[in-house]
Amino acid sequence: MFKSILVPIDFSESASQVVRLAVQVARAGGGKLTLLHVGMAPGAQAVETYGVPVSAVLPELYDQLAKEGLHVLQRLGREEVPEDVEWRAVARDGYAADEILAEVGTGAYDLLVMGTHGRRGLTRAVLGSVTEHVIREAKVPVLVTK
């Protein structure tokens, strides 16, 4: 059975469903969950104001967004993970697929549970799917849900 499960969360509408599935898997094997949210790294988006990247103008905005992301992740865990399942929340900044794979690369996990949500349309065609990238590169099994 799976003892340590990583659950990447992007706060989409299906995030609660992903956590509930991970809880079922954890309960079946006495496992624990790590809920992971990856926020956008400063400068990762090409957002500019008068030719200056927003990250250079408003670094405190990124700090506030990171804190808020962790707060929302912890609230999701309190709401969706029953008391009999051990869990923790982790927030990282960067590109989602890279940071998910880096967390898996620590060797602390034996399963990933994630949704198919995320980018759509032209953005997905140009940048690719985070889930697809993780499935191709992950060194542990990946359970994907809609």
Task: Give me the tens of pLDDT residue by residue for the chain, a chain 146 residues long.
Answer: 899 999 999 888 889 999 999 999 999 999 999 999 998 765 544 455 455 555 555 667 677 777 888 999 999 999 999 999 999 999 998 889 999 999 999 999 999 999 986 555 554 444 458 899 999 999 999 999 98
Strand order in the sheet with 87-93: 87-93, 32-39, 4-8, 111-115, 142-145
Burial class (CB in 10 A: 0-12, 13-18, 19+), 4: middle
- Cα gap 57→54, rounded to integer Å: 5
The confidence score (pLDDT) of residue 127 equals 43
Total domains in the chain come to 1
Domain with 50, as residue range(s), is 4-145
The confidence score (pLDDT) of residue 54 equals 55
Residue 18, domain CATH: 3.40.50.620
The confidence score (pLDDT) of residue 126 equals 42
* Strand pairing class (4-8; 142-145): unpaired
The confidence score (pLDDT) of residue 59 equals 66
